[in-house]
A and B are shown apart, each in its own frame.
Chain A
Amino acid sequence: MTGNAQRELVITGFGGQGIILTGNILGKAATIHDGRHATMTQSYGPEARGGACSSQVIVSDGEIAFPYVESPQVLVCMSQEGFENNRSTLIPGGMLIWDADLVETHDLDPSWSLHEVPATRFAEELGNKMMANIVMLGFLSALTDLVDPESLKKAMLGSVPPQTKEKNEAAFARGREYGLAILKGKAERGAAAS
């Protein structure tokens, strides 16, 4: 709307997964560390835990007029319900990311760029499945240019309880490495095919 490049992302899951915090960290990275504009809005049901929830993030170089995300360029699904409810909103050519163990995808648009990551499993391996959202953030930092990866890490470390920083840093790294490896694999496959 403003004529500036505007990136819109939706993260969906269920209450208690840290979905809102994930959106918040993205927004912090963009505004406080990258000096850009960002909004984060959320939607949630009346349940305190377990209900569907989503976090909508817009990152832009200019002022953001309309803070709702109607057609995201990136959709991150951390629950089946989140996938079912939001699949149709992803724009053609958009990026779909999902937790490999929590979501079974179907009816995918061939124009989408598709990426799965076992974020919850990785988090469990690292000692706490509550960190699945941080794994996902690391993964996002590798696959998208929404925000600067260093900014994202800084924003993440500033948002988690101090005593959990080390573990969260490991979770972030795990997700990021996995994402970079996928990109590298793709690049290699691409090189081999050409």
Chain B
Amino acid sequence: MTTAPAAALARHPHDDLLRTERIPHIWCSGCGIGIVFGSLMAAITKSGLPRQDVAVVSGIGCTGRMAGYIRLDSFHTTHGRAIPFATGLQLARPQGKVIVASGDGDLLAIGGNHFIHAARRNMDLTIICVNNFNYGMTGGQLAPSTPYGAKTTTTPQGNPDEPFNFCALAAACGASYVARWTALHIRRLTNTILEAIHHRGFSFVEVVAPCPTAFGRRNKIRGALDLLRFYYDRSVVKNHIAPGEATIDFDHHLVVGKFVELDRPTFLDHYQMVNRGQVEAWPATGVDASAAGQRKAG
């Protein structure tokens, strides 16, 4: 970048969405985050949403830096807290679209509790989770996604933990849109992110992405392309499979595809219905109202 003559530099198609003055970015060569970032920008452009109505919120980590490079209202919050911050942002300005982009450790270890509750509420957020199976920025520590037996700097003899299946977790918690791709499924990933952006409710997109520097190197897959290929070759597209069966199994199948797409009211829809008196009191049947009233008075 520093050696190329300025005039020879072609404009990148997403330059208008980039804080170009912040380039070069911090990501390693061969990192999958750039691909996901490109897909995200392509999807935002395709969505046709007014730029000022889209915000990107992230937590801490390599993926969290996406918020720093995108020329939108963007918020780089504390570790794990992107989702509750985004919740407040979205509820304060419901006409806006709030996208959370962060890593697996940020969203599902330290931020796990926020994740499951935002999914339960069907909060109107799009969550892009770049899953690189470790904490890359800080040199490759154990993440809640690290495969059993894999080496990280905090599991030097191999990981004794069972990893989470994020898509199954999201679906079980109530996410109304759930999908997974690898970073090599670029076209499908872009379309999925676009769908997720247009989806009303909690949409979750997991992207299995290579971290050659910290994760691949320590687990004998040194080349970035080798790692990308390793994930891609094991992937099998199974749309609408039961999320619990959408496993990440490196010996057999790394299941990708769209697993959940439901139309259900968001938190704010429910909140407005309740406050307009449009929601029947619980329980709807089987209780003598006068008896219930008496208990309340007591």
Direct contact of A and B (CB under 8 A): yes
Smallest distance from the beta carbon of A166 to chain B beta carbons, Å?
A: 16
Q: What does the 1/0 interface line of A15-49 toward B look like (CB < 8 Å)?
A: 01000000000000000000000000000000000
Interface string of B259-298 (1 = CB under 8 A from A): 0000000000000000000000000000000000000011
The answer, yes or no, to whether A130 is at the interface (CB within 8 Å) is yes
Which positions 128-170 of chain B face chain A at CB distance < 8 Å?
A: none
Give me 3 A-to-B residue pairs in the complex whose CB atoms sit less than 8 angstroms apart, sorted by A's number: A16-B298, A130-B297, A130-B298
Contacts of B298 in A (CB 8 A): 16, 130
The size bracket of the interface on B is: under 10
Size bracket of the A interface: under 10
Contact with B along A120-148 (1 / 0, CB 8 A): 00000000001000000000000000000
Q: How far is the CA of A179 from the CA of B298 in the complex (A)?
A: 27
| Residues of chain B lying within 8 A (CB to CB) of residue A130 | 297-298
Q: Which residue of A lies closest to B297 (CB)?
A: A130
The residues of A that contact B297 with a CB separation of less than 8 Å are 130
In the complex, what's the smallest C-beta–C-beta distance from B34 to chain A, in angstroms?
55
B24 CB, min distance to chain A CBs, angstroms: 59
CA gap between A16 and B297 in the complex, in Å: 9
Residues of B within 8 A of A16 (CB): 298
A16 to B295, CA, bound (A): 11
Nearest CB of A to B294, in Å: 10
CA distance A71 to B171 in the complex (A): 61
Contact with A along B239-259 (1 / 0, CB 8 A): 000000000000000000000
Assembled-state Cα–Cα distance A29/B105 (Å):
58
A22 shortest CB reach to chain B, Å: 16
Residue in B closest to A164 when the chains form the complex, CB atoms: B297
A130 to B295, CA, bound (A): 12
Nearest CB in chain B: distance from A20 CB, A: 15
Q: Which residue of B lies closest to A128 (CB)?
A: B297
The distance from the CB of B291 to the nearest CB of chain A, in whole angstroms, is 15
CB distance from A132 to the nearest CB of B (A): 13
A172 CA / B189 CA spacing, docked (Å):
72
CA distance A130 to B297 in the complex (A): 9
Q: How far in angstroms is the closest Cβ of chain B from A18?
A: 10
Q: How far is the CA of A16 from the CA of B296 in the complex (A)?
A: 11
- The 3 A-B pairs of least Cβ separation, nearest first, read A16-B298, A130-B297, A130-B298
A130 to chain B, nearest CB (A): 7
Nearest Cβ on chain B to A167's Cβ, whole angstroms = 12
Q: How far is the CB of A7 from chain B (nearest CB, A)?
A: 31
Cα-based distance from A130 to B298 in the complex (angstroms): 7
- For the complex formed, measure the closest distance between the CB of B18 and the CB atoms of chain A, giving whole angstroms: 56
- Cα distance A163–B298 in the bound complex, in angstroms: 15
Closest CB-CB distance, B282 to chain A, in whole Å?
19
B206-239 residues with Cβ-Cβ distance < 8 A to A are none
Complexed CA–CA distance, A89 and B196 (Å): 67
Closest B residue by C-beta to A49: B298
A168 → chain B closest CB, angstroms: 12
- Report the separation of the CA atoms of residues A130 and B294 in the bound assembly, to the nearest whole angstrom: 11
Per the 8 Å Cβ criterion, residues 170-208 of B in contact with A are none
A16 and B298 CA atoms in complex are apart in Å by 7
Within the complex, the shortest CB–CB distance from B257 to chain A, in Å, comes to 49
